[in-house]
């Protein structure tokens, strides 16, 4: 049965780790009839949640890979992606949000806005994703939806709309008051599947009327139609109010806030109603492609099955049957057996041998798919972020933002006979995960893997053992330092080489300078040549030379970042000048200037969030200070302290053991990359000396 695009919702569920995303996804699948029995994330049955299909996910009780599924609710098709909450797997959230039209931001009713909530919110803003907020775990001691809503406003700067009030608190949480329809809802049956609608209890009526009035007032601030009614003190109907909330949500002006407890089966069906009512369908979101045949002119894609096909491959999985490519279809339609073109890989033409619709790890074969759908293709080789189109057009879409790796490990197979499996595993993982990087260190002849954190690399090492029967020996974690410059410095370098026949000649002049604070880890090249001092054909070679010079800094051998290279003069020779001569001149000129530009070392600083019982405050704060941490904030609630600090990654190794021993096992922490900052002078000198000694050996 074909369904109109107006009834399609492509949504993701994102949150800080342990906020209950996977439990919420599991309830959504149960209420929409996709599964017939609820399994818990850490269930006693050992089956685990449907959306956690990897054994490792079920054992650890965390989501590692985003999982896609689809379901139907009240005549609407919902394509759903459940994403990890742990910062180490942030690329899974990034690529899901790149292709989704709307999202549900899940917040814990007790912990509220946490460190990863900031990251997820930033990712949603990056891709202009309208969202609903769902305050979960209201059955927990200390749960307070009003406080969490206030944090959404104060910490994440959301204009919130309080859609619901709880009936009962904490262990006595038993239902929800809907402020739009002004009705009370209770969730009966073994799994909360029977919804009972009642009038609002008399003792809550005045409070509910006041809250509804406040809701209308807040919407009126952002919607003219409601503002006119509000000022005229006229009655606002249910459908009128729903339409206005939809408008302000899709325009990213406001965030409707829903409440409930997924674990206790309360509030999930009302959230699903909210997804249908307030999140956009594929036609209400503007998606842009670049026309490669018209100097990358912007083209607005239309969710029309009759238009030429455009799709974006956003996630890859290498399985037993070959590569599975997840794709969002933005325009046109795709049928099994069609020929499509990979415009990100020099226009390679490929045939679509198999189309499937994913339900977590299960695959359902389909014959055709069209605009607005999220589907998967088998047997199509590509990279994550590639754009596919029909043969009549040459469009590409911007890919997702890939954060820099912050930690590295030297790895080798325990048994040399396993070298082939070791290579296969590394090739597969780098293809699937853009934040997992592999390189060979020429000096030490070691294989170095880099990623987003200790857990990220730990999981891949464990997967090599399980999926490739390859045990790995890992060295000490290595922090991903960077080198940078502190001031403007000029270069004037001539590369001259005579070898019998034609020689090499290239002269470059210019300067390097630090990039502004908003581009701290970037690289920029500027061509200020006038009068043809350096011929046009050699300008790109200068850029290449500078880029090559930034790959490995002379202080400690790490990449140089945050630098702008400007070439403004030079000279060439009619016979001896070549691309290689100018590339070498630029590289050597950069090194000459770098020594005069106050070079320094940068280290990754992590945003660390620690939760622990109040009586251990002195010990925990002392530990953070010893690790060169800067306390940003600390809040007390219900006998617990929630502290936020910025700590250098190099000082965070072994912290989990120290925290457990300092808090009798009751403390927890999460951390995510925050920024790069300068290493203190004394430590910098030690690092430079160590690097020189290592090189001399």
**Which sequence spans correspond to the domains of the chain?**
5-284, 287-396, 408-479, 483-598, 601-682
Q: Which residues contact 536 (CB under 8 A, 6 or more apart)?
A: none
CA pair distance 378, 384, nearest whole angstrom: 14
- The position carrying tokens 């090492």 is 461
CA pair distance 7, 529, nearest whole angstrom: 56
Whole-number pLDDT of residue 65: 61
Q: For residue 222, what pLDDT band results from cuts at 50, 70 and 90?
A: very high
Give the pLDDT confidence of 162-215 residue by residue, as tens digits: 999 999 999 899 999 999 999 999 998 888 889 999 999 999 999 999 999 999
Q: Are 346 and 426 in contact (CB under 8 A)?
A: no
Q: Are 526 and 554 in contact (CB under 8 A)?
A: no
Residue 46 has pLDDT above 70, yes or no: no
Give the pLDDT confidence of 416-426 residue by residue, as tens digits: 888 999 999 99
85 versus 203: the higher-pLDDT residue is 203
Give the pLDDT confidence of 454-500 residue by residue, as tens digits: 888 888 899 899 888 999 998 878 888 999 999 999 999 999 886 65
Give the pLDDT confidence of 49-84 residue by residue, as tens digits: 444 445 665 565 555 566 678 889 999 999 888 776
**Strand pairing class (387-389; 362-366):** unpaired
Question: Among the listed ranges 75-84, 103-112, 124-133, 167-176, which one has the minimum average pLDDT value?
Answer: 75-84
- Return the SS3 of 599: coil
Record: fold of 287-396: Elongation Factor Tu (Ef-tu); domain 3 (2.40.30)
Whole-number pLDDT of residue 430: 87
Record: fold of 601-682: Alpha-Beta Plaits (3.30.70)
Give the pLDDT confidence of 555-600 residue by residue, as tens digits: 999 999 999 999 999 998 888 888 999 999 999 999 999 999 999 9
90 versus 388: the higher-pLDDT residue is 388
Whole-number pLDDT of residue 54: 53
Whole-number pLDDT of residue 181: 95
Whole-number pLDDT of residue 9: 93
604-610 average pLDDT score: 89
Instruction: Specify the long-range contacts of residues 219-222, CB closer than 8 Å, at least 24 apart.
Output: 219/161, 219/244, 219/245, 219/248, 219/254, 221/159, 222/159, 222/248, 222/251, 222/253, 222/254
- Give how far the C-alpha of residue 524 lies from the chain's centroid of Cα atoms, to the nearest Å: 25
Range 483-598 classified under CATH 3.30.230.10? yes
Whole-number pLDDT of residue 50: 44
CA pair distance 658, 662, nearest whole angstrom: 6
- Over its C-alpha atoms, the chain yields an Rg (Å, rounded) of 28
Domains 5-284 and 408-479 share a fold: no
Packing angle of the helix pair 238-250, 224-231 (nearest 10 deg):
140
Q: Indicate the length of the chain as a whole number.
A: 697
Whole-number pLDDT of residue 300: 93
Q: Which of 369, 285, 348, 358 is nearest to 326 (CA)?
A: 358
CA pair distance 201, 433, nearest whole angstrom: 52
Whole-number pLDDT of residue 225: 92
Question: Among the listed ranges 83-97, 324-338, 367-381, 651-665, which one has the minimum average pLDDT value?
Answer: 83-97
Give the pLDDT confidence of 280-297 residue by residue, as tens digits: 999 999 899 999 888 889
**Residues 408-479, CATH architecture:** 2-Layer Sandwich (3.30)
Torsion of CA 286, 292, 295, 299, to 10 degrees: -20
**Other CB atoms within 10 A of residue 351 CB:** 11
Whole-number pLDDT of residue 247: 96
Q: Is the dihedral of CA 573, 574, 576, 578 positive or negative?
A: positive
380-387 average pLDDT score: 84
Q: Calculate the average pLDDT of the chain.
A: 87
81-91 average pLDDT score: 69
- Listed ranges 645-649, 657-661, 690-694; the one with the highest mean pLDDT: 645-649
- Return the SS3 of 562: coil
**Residues 5-284, CATH architecture:** 3-Layer(aba) Sandwich (3.40)
Residue 310 has pLDDT above 90, yes or no: yes
């Amino acid at each position: 049965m074909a369904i109109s695009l107006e009834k399609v919702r492509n949504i993701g569920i994102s949150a800080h780790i342990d906020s209950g995303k996977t439990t919420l996804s599991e309830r959504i699948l149960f209420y929409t009839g996709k599964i017939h029995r609820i399994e818990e994330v850490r269930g006693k049955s050992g089956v685990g949640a449907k959306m956690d299909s990897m054994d490792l996910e079920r054992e650890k009780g965390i989501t590692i890979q985003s999982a896609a599924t689809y379901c139907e609710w009240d005549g609407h098709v919902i394509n759903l992606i459940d994403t990890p909450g742990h910062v180490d797997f942030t690329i899974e959230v990034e690529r899901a949000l790149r292709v989704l039209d709307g999202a549900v931001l899940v917040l814990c009713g007790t912990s509220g806005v946490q460190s990863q909530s900031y990251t997820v919110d930033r990712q949603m803003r990056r891709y202009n994703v309208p969202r609903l907020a769902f305050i979960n775990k209201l059955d927990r001691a200390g749960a307070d939806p009003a406080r969490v809503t206030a944090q959404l406003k104060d910490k994440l700067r959301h204009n919130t709309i309080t859609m619901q009030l709880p009936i009962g608190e904490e262990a006595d949480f038993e239902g929800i008051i809907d402020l739009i329809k002004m009705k009370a809802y209770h969730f009966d049956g073994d799994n909360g599947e029977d919804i009972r609608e009642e009038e609002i209890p008399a003792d809550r009526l005045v409070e509910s009327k006041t809250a509804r009035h406040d809701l209308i007032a807040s919407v009126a601030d952002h919607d003219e139609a409601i503002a006119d009614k509000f000022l005229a003190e006229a009655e606002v109907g249910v459908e009128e109010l729903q339409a206005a909330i939809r408008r302000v949500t899709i325009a990213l002006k406001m965030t409707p806030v829903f409440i409930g407890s997924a674990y206790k089966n309360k509030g999930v069906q009302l959230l699903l109603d909210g997804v249908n009512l307030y999140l956009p369908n594929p036609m209400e979101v503007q998606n842009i492609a670049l026309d490669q045949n018209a100097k990358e002119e912007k083209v607005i894609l239309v969710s029309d099955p009759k238009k030429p096909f455009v799709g974006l491959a956003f996630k890859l999985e290498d399985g037993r049957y070959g590569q599975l490519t997840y794709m969002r279809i933005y325009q046109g339609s795709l049928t099994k057996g069609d020929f499509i073109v990979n415009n990100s890989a020099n226009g390679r033409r490929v045939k679509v041998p198999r189309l499937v619709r994913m339900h977590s790890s299960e695959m359902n074969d389909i014959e055709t798919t069209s605009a607005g759908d999220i589907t998967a293709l088998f047997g199509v080789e590509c990279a994550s972020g590639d754009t596919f189109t029909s043969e009549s057009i040459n469009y590409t879409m911007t890919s997702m933002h890939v954060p820099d790796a912050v930690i590295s490990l030297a790895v080798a197979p325990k048994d040399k006979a396993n070298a082939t499996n070791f290579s296969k595993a590394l090739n597969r993982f780098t293809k699937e995960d853009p934040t997992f990087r592999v390189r060979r260190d020429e000096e030490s002849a070691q294989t170095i893997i880099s990623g987003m954190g200790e857990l990220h690399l730990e999981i891949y090492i464990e997967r090599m053992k399980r999926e490739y029967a390859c045990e790995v020996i890992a060295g000490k974690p290595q922090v991903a330092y960077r080198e940078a410059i502190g001031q403007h410095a000029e270069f004037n370098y001539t590369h001259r080489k005579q070898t019998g026949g034609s020689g090499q000649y290239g002269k470059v002049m210019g300067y390097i300078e630090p990039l502004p604070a908003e581009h701290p880890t970037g690289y920029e090249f500027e061509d200020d040549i006038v009068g043809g001092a350096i011929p046009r054909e050699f300008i790109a070679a200068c850029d290449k030379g500078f880029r090559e010079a930034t790959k490995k800094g002379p202080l400690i051998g790490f990449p140089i970042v945050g630098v702008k290279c400007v070439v403004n003069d030079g000279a060439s020779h009619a016979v001896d000048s070549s691309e290689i001569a100018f590339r070498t001149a630029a590289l050597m000129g950069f090194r000459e200037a770098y020594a005069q530009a106050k070079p320094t070392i940068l280290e990754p600083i992590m945003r660390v969030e620690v939760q622990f019982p109040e009586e251990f405050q002195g010990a925990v704060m002392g530990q953070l200070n010893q690790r060169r941490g800067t306390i940003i904030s600390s809040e007390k609630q219900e006998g617990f302290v929630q502290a936020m600090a910025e700590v250098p990654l190099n000082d965070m190794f072994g912290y989990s053991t120290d925290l457990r021993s300092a808090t009798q096992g009751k403390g927890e922490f999460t951390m995510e990359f925050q920024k790069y900052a300068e290493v203190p002078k004394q430590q910098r000198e030690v690092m430079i000396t160590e690097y020189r000694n290592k090189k001399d050996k």
